[in-house]
Homo-oligomer: A and B are copies of this chain.
Amino acid sequence: MLDLRPVGYVIGLLTATLGALMLLPLAVDLLAGSANWRAFAGAAAITFCCGLFTAIACRNAISGGLDLRQSFVLTTGVWVVLPLFAALPFVTGAPGLSGTDAVFEAMSGLTTTGTTVITGLDALPMGINLWRAMLNWLGGLGIVIVALIFLPVMKVGGMQFFRTEGFDTLGKVLPRALDISKALLSIYLVMTLGCALAYRAFGMETFEAVIHALSALSTGGFSNRDTSFTEFAVPLHYITVVAMILSTLPFIRFIQLFRGEVKPLWQDLQVRAYLRWTLYAIIMVLAWRVIRDAQPFWPALHQSVFNVVSIFSGTGLLSGDPGQWGPLPFMVLLIVGFIGGCTSSTGCSVKVFRYLIMFRAITTQIRRLLQPAAVHPLRLQGRRVEQEVISSVIVFFTLFIATFAVLAIALSMTGLQPRTALTAAWTAIADIGPVWGPEVGPTGAVGGFPDPAKWIMTIGMLLGRLELVSVYVLFTIRFWAR
């Protein structure tokens, strides 16, 4: 029998922490004189108590650490349970969302998707907007920890390639998780603070600086404005661009940088490919805007750079409406969204590393056609890539495309138009943010979608964020059979 108590213990602690963190927006609303602090008070009490009781009930079983199956239940469990509690303030408080909408908003926050159901963000109490941005930020932190520690051990989607990197010996999962989490937390906090201060220095208001630092560095994309980033000054755009690029680099490199090792970051093939591809995408979109659409160069430049980087990284903050920029920019944005960031970043989607492996697998395949007898080992970053990793990567990609197709079909069944269904499936599985189509409100909010569509997107966000395989495995009989 699978012992779920260690899982319950960790989820309990995380839930209690989430409850405690609700005191921040509570304090903000209290200081701002908004009566909405009561929503957070109730939610915090419920969340904290539920979490604490669960942790206490399960506390004696954790000493053995987590085994493989428990790790699988834990990762999915966290992203199923926490959004339910995180949704509470949205129901009891200011926007007064329905249960479906609230869970959607919380899942969108914690999976760093950033699609919102709310129209009229600017009029919300500050606490609610802070809570939304905090969910982005916490989700980003959580996912980096999962990508650094859990996925390699769980061998999800070829992530076992990164098992030995940085952390050579692999003990039990949990103690390492705490160590690495601490290092990560410091780096993440410093970057966020730096971003917020830079915003402030270039004239953004403190509250908005905090919100956007939280949501840009987590590639989350929630904004406190209906117009997203459109109305902000040009320098603020470029600060965000830097923040979004940082958040899609492999965080393992930052830990190494922290230890004084610059070389690994500099020589990382994944980082180089990511920056190169970003450049190509920007050039294509910019050329279209300037040459074909005859837009003035400088505004076109900062908007093209901003939106390409935003979608490529999966942040989803927008400047203007790039969905209306015409065929080529639309297609480029769709495709960079399907690439996504580097591994162990807060970015989502298929990831640069997997494309690098797939491109090499294709080259190897073509070589093999001509020299069937010869052995063609696939190498990346000076290391040999095992066949098992290659298979995992390509199977992941196949599963990604298949899941995308199923989501698109399912969304179409709810009656959404093809353009809406396709971009909604895309934004959900790659945790990007924007949805384009006739059913989307003028501010980009999807509140008008039918409820089944919202649930399908909620499931899609969860699947995409946890790299599909780690969720699907829970639905096999074999998993529960032993």
- A-to-B contact residues, CB < 8 Å: 68-69, 72, 154-156, 284, 292, 326-328, 330-332, 335, 338, 358, 361-362, 365-370, 372, 387-388, 390-392, 394-395, 397-399, 401-402, 405, 408-409, 412-413, 415-419, 421, 469, 472-473, 476, 478-479
Contacts and interface: CB of A to CB of B under 8 A. Distances in A.
Contacts of A398: 358, 361-362, 394, 397-398
B369 A469 contact: yes
A351 to B, nearest CB: 14
Contacts of A332: 409, 412
A155 B372 contact: yes
B417 A370 contact: no
Contacts of A401: 397, 401
A335 B405 CA distance: 7
A369 B151 CA distance: 11
Contacts of A69: 370
Contacts of A412: 327-328, 330-332
A395 B69 CA distance: 30
A391 B390 contact: yes
Given A361-B391, A394-B398, 18 more contacts: A155-B368, A155-B369, A327-B413, A327-B415, A327-B416, A327-B418, A327-B421, A328-B412, A335-B409, A358-B398, A358-B402, A361-B395, A362-B398, A369-B473, A370-B479, A387-B387, A394-B395, A394-B397
A155 B405 CA distance: 28
A470 to B, nearest CB: 8
B419 A473 contact: no
Nearest to A479: B370
Contacts of A361: 391, 395, 398
A358 to B, nearest CB: 5
A409 B287 CA distance: 14
Contacts of A469: 365-366, 369
Residue from the set A69, A369, A390 with the largest chain B CB neighbour count within 10 Å: A369
A421 B335 CA distance: 14
Contact of A328 (B156, B366, B391, B413): B413
- Most chain B CB within a 10 A radius of its CB, from A68, A358, A409, A418: A418
